[in-house]
Structure 1
């Protein structure tokens, strides 16, 4: 059996690890994310260099660990990467710290590689008018 993430100290996390382990149909993939593997994942996220690579990493996290990360422009104007909405959807077994670490790693990536942010915004048609040279209402 592959290594499993060690249990968080009681009261320190809301991961519901024990509930997940007690469910016969529970998705245990997330428990394979040991602390060492989490460090590798965060380093991989920080090294994302394109929108296609971002989507690839999102797909890998979903397939291999069941982690769903939703990234979209915030409801207000996006002036910095802080204006992006990055949400790691809750799931049993996903540590609270990991749910915070993934968006932080993505923000570090976006700060270092602004083109990924521009492409992400363009994917949502927020910069289409700028690229076309046409002013749109």
Structure 2
């Protein structure tokens, strides 16, 4: 069993999370363990203060490169009338806490609420007027 040489997130209390952190302590992709509680706070603050669609896409790439988190953001199949019509999904990843899986999309939604032009660019990028 290898031990990481970088600071790692403290394990969740038993029974409080379904992250599967224990499975990562073997030979596997351990990038997600770099997300300590302090780093998570910094990440959420950064996601709440996105400035553009390019910034959002940059953060999606950084989440994958640094932590292995695959984040997809797209309009739902139905009509988008509110922010709830945007699907923000995180692919299942061993070691990613349940709380974090919920807080990342919530931070992005808060950012889209503050900067609606990012939402408009996202809709344009997904060909909002394709059936018109």
- Give the TM-score taking structure 2 as reference length: 0.93
Q: Runs of 5+ in structure 2 lacking a partner?
A: none
Larger Rg: 1
Q: Give the match's secondary structure for 1:58.
A: helix
2:13 equivalent in structure 1: 9
- Tell me by how many angstroms 1:19 deviates: 1.1
Q: Give the match's secondary structure for 2:72.
A: strand
- 2:78 aligned with 1:76: yes
- Give the TM-score taking structure 1 as reference length: 0.90
- 2:53 aligned with 1:42: no
The structure 1 segments of at least 4 consecutive aligned residues displaced by more than 3 Å after TM superposition are none
1:106 equivalent in structure 2: 108
Q: For residues 69 and 40 of structure 1, what CA distance do their matches in structure 2 show?
A: 17
Q: For residues 102 and 113 of structure 1, what CA distance do their matches in structure 2 show?
A: 17
In structure 2, which of residues 34, 56, 59 is the aligned counterpart of residue 57 of structure 1? 59
Please tell me the root mean square deviation across aligned C-alpha atoms, in Å.
1.1
Q: For residues 74 and 10 of structure 1, what CA distance do their matches in structure 2 show?
A: 35
Q: For residues 24 and 38 of structure 2, what CA distance do their matches in structure 1 show?
A: 21
Q: Give the match's secondary structure for 1:86.
A: strand
- What number of residue pairs does the alignment pair up? 128
CA offset digits 1:35-89 (Å, max 9, x no partner): 0000000000011110000000110000000011100001211111111000011
